[in-house]
Amino acid sequence: MTHIPTRPALAAVGQPCVARAPVLIPMGPDGVEAEFIGFDGLDGQEHVALRFSGRHPDATRPTLVRLHSECLTGDVFASARCDCGHQLHEAIGLLAEEGGILLYLRQEGRGIGLYAKLDAYLLQDRGLDTYAANRRLNLPEDARDYGIAAAMLQALDVSRIRLLTNNPDKVAALRAAGIDVAEVRRTGVYVTDANRAYLQAKADRGHMFGPGTFRLPVRGVVRDTAEIGAGGKNGDKEADY
Ligand SMILES: [Zn+2]
């Protein structure tokens, strides 16, 4: 295995994180190509970076980056209980156009794993929200570690980014780990009958950069939570971080 030379970075376990050789993979009906890159020195999980060259890249802007936590049910089987699959494909579409990096983090169910996520779904069917269900199972509400994502970016020599997210926790964690998040670009929120309660719970936790009291629509796509804030536009639409 030939490793591309990169500057070693420290992963969560304190080992140097080193990128493995990139492998080009065409995807989907349009044949969008991305380099799939694994890493040595992470936490034992096979996190992977997808690097897109982009049809119309702008080298003067910071690298567009999306952190996507694995969701087998949403990403592969298009589950309607969350909007992960929609957000993943939105990110791939943007990255294919502008270039950038998707970090696919093997942190299923916000880090609690697939089986525990399914257990939590059972509790949600009995009326608990996504966070209360985790607490009932004696599991953390959110066990994800974004320090791993920072180590992956550093191993790829990416230190200044535009982050595609609605989650302020990701911005804070990357900055704490030394990544310059120069700009935040929001993702769409894809509301369906089946996922509305899940998304509302996230919104109530401030996970969409909007005020904590806003109500999501019954169905549809929200592309900017500032537009549905309690007081209308809340002035942070051009989120520049
Ligand atoms: Zn999901």
Question: Domains plus CATH for the chain?
Answer: 9-228 (3.40.50.10990)
Mean pLDDT of 126-140: 88
What is the distance in A from the centroid of ligand 1 to the CA of 6?
32
Q: In terms of pLDDT, which residue wins out, 206 or 228?
A: 206
Name beta bridge partners: 26.
33
What is the distance in A from the centroid of ligand 1 to the CA of 108?
8
**Structure tokens given for 91:** 């990110």
What is the distance in A from the centroid of ligand 1 to the CA of 19?
27
pTM above 0.75, yes or no: yes
**Structure tokens given for 20:** 């493995």
Mean pLDDT of 129-156: 89
Long-range CB contacts (within 8 A, 24+) of 53-61: 53/99, 54/95, 54/96, 54/97, 54/98, 54/99, 54/100, 55/96, 55/97, 56/97, 56/98, 57/98, 57/99, 58/98, 61/162
What is the distance in A from the centroid of ligand 1 to the CA of 77?
10
Q: How many residues does the chain have?
A: 241
Compute the distance between CA of residue 89 and CA of residue 202 in angstroms, rounded to an integer: 20
Which are the catalytic amino acids?
142, 144
Round the average pLDDT of the chain to a whole number and report it.
Answer: 83
Position 207 confidence tier, pLDDT thresholds 50, 70, 90: low
Closest CA to 181 of 170, 166, 195: 170
Most confident listed range (68-77, 102-111, 142-151, 184-193): 68-77
Query: Which region among 41-45, 47-51, 174-178 has the lowest average model confidence (pLDDT)?
Result: 41-45
User: Does residue 59 surpass a pLDDT of 60?
Assistant: yes
